[in-house]
């Protein structure tokens, strides 16, 4: 009885980072499916202000990328936009974001760090990446052309020995109880790079982004 109360007391918070340059419907759909499956109370969309891995050429200002995120998630009571990385100086590192959220949300919150398989494959290039696995659960979503296969060889070598397989759960758990889940979402082969390329040549981006985002891009002449 006591255990059940404790379990219900916990808050499950998804953290979905990205450049969101711009946010598109595959981001939204992936977050929706993850929130539903993992029974998340909310999902924070955290646009990266100064992404260490992206070149600045056609990167819209962080404030505009945040404005588009806000517009895209309006009306979804579970989704929130976070300006956390815009308020910090220097490079935007996920490890700093997760630490800040841990601090702010306190011990009752369970963090679920959401990212696509393509991003997860490069995680060993991220700043202090090993720490990430001791701050949050991971949900690695499929992204065309990759399925979300749960294979130990996908885990970074440096942390592999600390995880063991979760039978029947398509995932792994480490010695502190943090899990890595591999989760298949509806395959939508959409990318922000493709949307920017279309906008640049004056082609339609309708139905790839929410209507408000499309209007915003047109009005502010982004990605021309």
Binding site for ligand ATP (CB under 6 A): 18-21, 26-27, 30, 115-116, 118-119, 141, 143, 188, 190-193
* Sign of the four-CA dihedral 167, 168, 173, 175: negative
Query: 62-73 vs 211-219: helix axis angle to the nearest 10?
Result: 150
Give the span between the Cα atoms of 101 and 166, in whole angstroms. Answer: 26
Nearest residue by C-beta to ligand ATP? 116
Q: How far is the CB of 202 from ligand ATP (least distance, A)?
A: 19
Return the number of the residue (63 or 161) whose C-beta is nearest ligand ATP. 63
Give the span between the Cα atoms of 64 and 21, in whole angstroms. Answer: 9
Return the number of the residue (161 or 171) whose C-beta is nearest ligand ATP. 171
Return the number of the residue (174 or 191) whose C-beta is nearest ligand ATP. 191
Residues 51 and 19 sit within 8 Å (Cβ to Cβ): yes
Return the number of the residue (1 or 222) whose C-beta is nearest ligand ATP. 222
Give the span between the Cα atoms of 196 and 105, in whole angstroms. Answer: 35
Give the span between the Cα atoms of 35 and 12, in whole angstroms. Answer: 9
DSSP secondary-structure letter at 60?
A: P
Return the number of the residue (49 or 115) whose C-beta is nearest ligand ATP. 115
Q: How far is the CB of 34 from ligand ATP (least distance, A)?
A: 10
Q: How far is the CB of 104 from ligand ATP (least distance, A)?
A: 22
Return the number of the residue (71 or 115) whose C-beta is nearest ligand ATP. 115
Task: Please give the angle made by the CA atoms of 44, 31 and 24, to the nearest 5 degrees.
Answer: 95
Q: How far is the CB of 60 from ligand ATP (least distance, A)?
A: 11
Q: How far is the CB of 167 from ligand ATP (least distance, A)?
A: 26
Q: How far is the CB of 45 from ligand ATP (least distance, A)?
A: 9
The length of the chain, given as a count of residues? 224
């Amino acid at each position: 009885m006591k255990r059940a109360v404790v379990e219900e007391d916990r808050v499950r918070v998804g953290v979905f980072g990205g450049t969101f340059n711009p946010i598109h419907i595959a981001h939204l759909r992936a977050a929706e499916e993850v929130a539903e499956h993992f029974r998340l109370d909310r999902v924070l969309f955290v646009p990266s202000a100064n992404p260490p891995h992206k070149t600045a050429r056609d990167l819209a200002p962080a404030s505009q990328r945040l404005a588009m995120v806000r517009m895209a998630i309006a009306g979804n009571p579970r989704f929130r936009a976070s300006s956390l990385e815009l308020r910090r100086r220097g490079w935007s590192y996920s490890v700093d974001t997760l630490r800040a959220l841990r601090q702010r949300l306190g011990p009752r919150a369970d963090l679920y760090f959401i990212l696509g398989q393509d991003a997860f494959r490069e995680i060993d290039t991220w700043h202090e990446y090993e720490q990430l696995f001791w701050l949050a659960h991971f949900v690695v979503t499929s992204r065309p052309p990759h399925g979300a296969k749960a294979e130990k060889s996908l885990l970074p070598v440096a942390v592999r020995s600390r995880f063991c397989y979760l039978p029947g759960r398509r995932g792994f758990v480490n010695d502190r109880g943090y899990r890595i889940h591999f989760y298949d979402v509806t395959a939508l082969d959409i990318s922000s790079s493709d949307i920017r390329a279309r906008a640049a040549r004056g082609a339609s981006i309708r139905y790839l982004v929410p209507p408000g985002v499309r209007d915003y891009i047109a009005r502010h002449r982004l990605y021309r």
